[in-house]
């Protein structure tokens, strides 16, 4: 970074150069992937870096219909949406209670729920496999959903507790005087007021679970039940040379994330980096 | 006597206190709120974690074939060379890679803070890799490292360094480095956003004063930004460290721990022993997982302690 000690003009130039280079480095692989997703494997093997001409949009149709990516997509959707809704509800309830009420054991419960955020996944993985087999939940989307709920619970409680704790107590006191019960206060006051934070956790949990690989690969072996990450990985194992179709499948898995990102980039970034900023 | 009347007479009754002090709630209410979360935690996190540790004292060849073997799994671990290779790789990765991640993030944040046009666009663009799943990142970079047509080798050939081209993931000397670079590519944007937020929250007088003193960006970075950002940077380091102690997906998809265990991490080794080697024993991988659980917890506590005492010394 010697550029910083050079005269101002040169340092401006160097800065722009670095920024341009880094932007290329950060984005080029993704753009490359996007171009390959609309080219056939034959075209790609002739030249891996050419611009698509023509755009083979039918690649998406055949990935969706002929290569089972639709099945994987819907499995992912069912598991992730289910887990995200449930984890948000029970996480918000716990966070509200921990932020609002003083009772013996409050910090202990918070510590217990939060501590598992540092657990290496293997410590639960092997037994979860055994447990799900015992309860006939192995190879089932319901089993995977339950595991996903437990995976995202610590982060959800952590993010929401911090937010709920900052809601002014007066709001709750007023509601109490108006005759609201504790459950009503949660449902009618805390949840709506906490919506910005809840939206952030919804988006964050969605993206993390949408991308989850390790637990899915252990707990799901049935091809019919595969989620997108393990479906793509399995497809790649079977059709190693079919680069065009792999790229199309990968794009199908990335599109929902990009859509969420386009609309909620601020919220998402804030959620992901919450707790790291001091 | 109805409960309501009893409550009215006795000021210490729970419903009475909950009415006078909104910070208190009855135990049933608390149970309704935290009960489901605790149930999920105990059923799907605490119990499995406990069971893994318990299992580590057994040899488990199947539902009916469980035999107590005491500490023998742990004894075997001491002489398991693959395990030690995995530990070595994971430690290299956990201690070295976060420096790369955090330094890149900080430099990018300073570049944005220096007031380039379109900073918002760059911030969003640089953050994009963070969102891609490890499967996507792994597949992309396997192609980038491809010997014949990967971007790395094509680039080297283009500038006449043909002798440097190699099979980056197939060579035991370069495979781990290649994975670390890929991982840094994914996470730099995350560190950048955090550093940027931290820089913006610095007291502006300090940076303005340095501006008046004609302080260059390099000096500003060295003498003002880095020292003042120390808590954030250390926090990021710990966060990256924890992430790397758990690393699995990227390695599993790109190299499966090969070639010659040069990229084996503890996570991939546990996975192999439990689900991939057809050894059908869940006891031994449980022992590895239990040991690693202890190592991660100890490392996090140690780092926290070290950093906390630092803070006390300096401020």
Distance CA A17, CA A44 (A): 31
Kindly state the tokens that stand for A245: 């179709």
pLDDT at B5: 42
Which phi and psi (to 5°) does residue B94 adopt? -70, -30
Q: How confident is the model at residue B20 (pLDDT cuts 50, 70, 90)?
A: low
> In sequence order, what are the residues at sequence separation of 6 or more whose Cβ sits closer than 8 angstroms to the Cβ of residue A219?
A128, A129, A132, A138, A139, A143, A144, A147
| Summary mean pLDDT of chain B | 83
- Chain B contact set for A26 (CB, 8 A): 125-126, 128-129, 185, 188-189
Q: How far apart are the first and last CA of chain B?
A: 62
CA dist list (Å): B190 to A146, A154, B144: 28, 20, 22
Could you say which residues from 34 to 93 on chain A have a Cβ atom under 8 Å away from some Cβ of chain B? 48-49, 90-91, 93
Q: Name the residue with higher pLDDT: A58 or B289.
A: B289
Most confident of A5-14, A52-61, B139-148: B139-148
Q: Which of B40, B232, B300 lies nearest to residue A118, judging by beta carbons?
A: B300
Share of chain A above pLDDT 70, in %: 95
pLDDT at B310: 58
Q: How confident is the model at residue A9 (pLDDT cuts 50, 70, 90)?
A: low
Q: For residues B200-214, give the mean pLDDT.
A: 77
A149, B45, A216, B83 alpha-carbon torsion, rounded to 10°? 150
Q: For residues B269-286, give the mean pLDDT.
A: 84
- This model of the complex carries an ipTM of 0.88
pLDDT at B277: 74
- Chain B contact set for A269 (CB, 8 A): 127, 193
Instruction: Classify residue B160 as exposed, middle or buried by CB count within 10 Å of its CB (0-12, 13-18, 19+).
Output: exposed
Instruction: Classify residue B144 as exposed, middle or buried by CB count within 10 Å of its CB (0-12, 13-18, 19+).
Output: buried
Query: B224: distance to nearest CA of chain A, Å?
Result: 15
Q: Which of B28-42, B61-75, B287-301 has the lowest mean pLDDT?
A: B61-75
Kindly state the tokens that stand for A19: 């920024």
Given a cut of 60, whether residue A114 has pLDDT beyond it is yes
- Chain B contact set for A182 (CB, 8 A): 18, 25, 29
Given a cut of 90, whether residue A276 has pLDDT beyond it is no
Q: Which of B144, B282, B290 lies nearest to residue A130, judging by beta carbons?
A: B282
**Percent of chain B as helix, strand, coil, to the nearest 5:** 75, 0, 25
Sign of dihedral through CA atoms B113, B114, B119, B122?
Answer: negative
Is the minimum CB–CB distance between A157 and chain B shorter than 8 Å? yes
Share of chain B above pLDDT 70, in %: 89
pTM metric for this prediction: 0.87
Q: For residues B94-101, give the mean pLDDT.
A: 90
Q: For residues B82-109, give the mean pLDDT.
A: 91
Is the minimum CB–CB distance between A240 and chain B shorter than 8 Å? no
Share of chain B above pLDDT 90, in %: 29
Q: Name the residue with higher pLDDT: B205 or A278.
A: B205
Q: Which of A59-68, A208-217, B214-223 has the lowest mean pLDDT?
A: B214-223
Q: Which residue of chain B has the CA closest to A118?
A: B242
- Chain A contact set for B41 (CB, 8 A): 112-113, 116, 150, 153
Q: How confident is the model at residue A116 (pLDDT cuts 50, 70, 90)?
A: confident
Per-residue model confidence as pLDDT tens digits over B243-255: 899 899 999 999 9
Q: Is the Cβ pair A123, B289 closer than 8 Å? A: yes
Q: For residues B75-103, give the mean pLDDT.
A: 90
């Amino acid at each position: 970074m010697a550029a910083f000690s050079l005269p101002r003009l040169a340092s401006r130039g160097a800065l722009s150069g670095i920024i341009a280079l880094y932007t290329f480095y950060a984005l080029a692989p993704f753009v490359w992937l996007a171009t390959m997703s609309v080219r056939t494997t034959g075209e790609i093997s002739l030249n891996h870096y050419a611009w698509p001409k023509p755009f083979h949009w039918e690649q998406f149709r055949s990935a969706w219909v002929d290569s089972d990516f639709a099945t994987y997509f819907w499995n992912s959707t069912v598991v992730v949406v289910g887990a995200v809704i449930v984890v948000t509800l029970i996480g918000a309830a716990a966070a509200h209670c921990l932020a609002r009420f003083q009772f013996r054991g409050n910090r202990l419960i918070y510590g217990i729920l939060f501590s598992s955020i540092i657990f290496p996944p293997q410590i639960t993985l092997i037994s979860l496999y055994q447990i799900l087999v015992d309860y006939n939940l192995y190879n089932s989307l319901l089993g995977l959903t339950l595991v996903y709920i437990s995976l995202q619970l610590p982060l959800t409680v952590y993010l929401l507790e911090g937010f709920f704790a900052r809601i002014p107590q007066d709001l709750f006191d007023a509601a109490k005087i108006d005759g609201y019960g504790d459950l009503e206060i949660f449902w009618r006051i805390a949840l709506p007021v906490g919506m910005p934070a809840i939206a952030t956790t919804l988006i964050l949990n969605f993206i993390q679970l949408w991308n989850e690989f390790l637990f899915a690969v252990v707990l799901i072996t049935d091809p019919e039940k595969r989620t997108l990450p393990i479906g793509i990985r399995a497809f790649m194992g079977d059709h190693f040379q079919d680069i065009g179709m792999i790229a199309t499948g990968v794009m199908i898995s990335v599109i929902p994330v990009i859509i969420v990102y386009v609309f909620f980039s601020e919220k998402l970034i804030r959620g992901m980096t919450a707790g790291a900023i001091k | 006597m109805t409960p309501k009347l009893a409550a009215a007479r006795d000021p210490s009754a729970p419903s009475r206190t909950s009415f006078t002090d909104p910070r208190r709630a009855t135990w049933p209410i608390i149970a309704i709120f935290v009960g489901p979360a605790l149930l999920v935690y105990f059923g799907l996190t605490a119990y499995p974690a406990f069971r893994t540790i318990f299992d580590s004292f057994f040899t488990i060849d199947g539902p009916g074939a469980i035999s107590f073997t005491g500490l023998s799994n742990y004894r075997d671990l001491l002489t398991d060379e693959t395990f030690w290779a995995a530990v070595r790789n994971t430690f290299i990765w956990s201690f070295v890679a976060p420096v790369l991640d955090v330094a890149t993030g900080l430099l990018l944040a300073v570049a944005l803070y220096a007031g380039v046009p379109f900073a918002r666009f760059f911030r969003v663009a640089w953050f994009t890799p963070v969102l891609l799943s490890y499967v996507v990142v792994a597949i992309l970079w396997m192609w980038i490292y491809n010997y014949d047509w990967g971007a790395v080798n094509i680039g080297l050939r283009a500038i006449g360094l043909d002798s440097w081209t190699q099979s980056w993931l197939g060579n035991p000397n370069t495979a781990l480095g290649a994975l670390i670079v890929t991982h840094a590519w994914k996470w730099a944007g995350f560190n950048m956003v955090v550093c940027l937020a931290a820089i913006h929250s610095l007291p502006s007088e300090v940076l303005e004063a340095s501006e008046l003193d004609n302080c260059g960006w390099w000096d500003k970075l060295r003498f003002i930004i880095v020292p003042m950002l120390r808590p954030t940077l250390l926090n990021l380091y710990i966060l990256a460290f924890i992430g790397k102690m758990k690393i699995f997906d990227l390695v599993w998809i790109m190299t499966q721990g090969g070639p010659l265990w040069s990229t084996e991490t503890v996570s991939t080794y546990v996975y192999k022993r439990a689900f991939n080697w057809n050894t059908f024993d869940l006891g031994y991988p449980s022992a590895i997982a239990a040991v690693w659980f202890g190592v991660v917890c100890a490392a996090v506590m140690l780092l926290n302690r070290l950093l906390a005492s630092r803070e006390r010394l300096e401020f």
